[in-house]
Amino acid sequence: MDDQDLLLPEQGQTLVRLARHALATRIGKEKTEPPPPPDPRLQQKGATFVTLTVGGALRGCIGTPEAHLPLERDVRENAFRAATMDPRFPPVKAGELGRVKIEVSVLTPPRLLDCRPEERPQRVRPGTDGLLFTSGFNRGLLLPQVWAKIPEPKEFLGMLCRKARLPSDAWRRPDSELYTFQVQAFHEE
């Protein structure tokens, strides 16, 4: 990530507050004051993922790998979608909101990893690269934070393929593509 593309910590916290506000008003039906208006940088198009946890366990995670909305709007939409549309979990209920912790990840544009499939495990950077895998109509994405749980590159690639609903060795297919990206992650204070 280039320094000029990095968000300031206070901009990241504004995004986290926007995510919390979206959950409070749309799920909790609370009438709350919105966070202060975001600065112009947050009005630029950006790609985000919003991760929800309860007691350290995943409760929902949804996002957009490519920028198409202003950052602040992308975060609000992804917060609501993570809480209500992640197929792995039932929708978050209003009574749970007090226990939900929010993480907002702002993604760099994905870049094609230009190498032969068998070189992919050596070319990815554990702990740094998020990965987007495509094969035909199947796609899978894992944020760089997942390396903390799956530090071995071949195992990480296997999980990525399973997330794309493919066999764990599909990353070896010559007609597949692997993209890398990085994130700037912000947590609730």
**pTM to 2 decimals?**
0.92
CATH number of 111-182: 3.30.1490.150
Same fold, 3-108 and 111-182: no
Question: Can you say whether the dihedral through the CA atoms of 134, 138, 143, 146 is positive or negative?
Answer: negative
Task: Check residue 34 and give its pLDDT.
Answer: 66
Q: What is the pLDDT of residues 29-39, one digit of tens each?
A: 877 776 666 68
Average pLDDT over residues 76-99: 96
Domain boundaries, the chain: 3-108, 111-182
Phi, psi dihedrals of residue 114, rounded to the nearest 5°: -90, 90
Average pLDDT over residues 18-43: 84
Superfamily for 3-108?
Hypothetical protein ph0010; domain 1 (3.30.700.20)
Q: Is 144 exposed, middle or buried (0-12, 13-18, 19+ CB in 10 A)?
A: buried
Asked if the model's pLDDT at residue 21 lies above 60, the reply is: yes
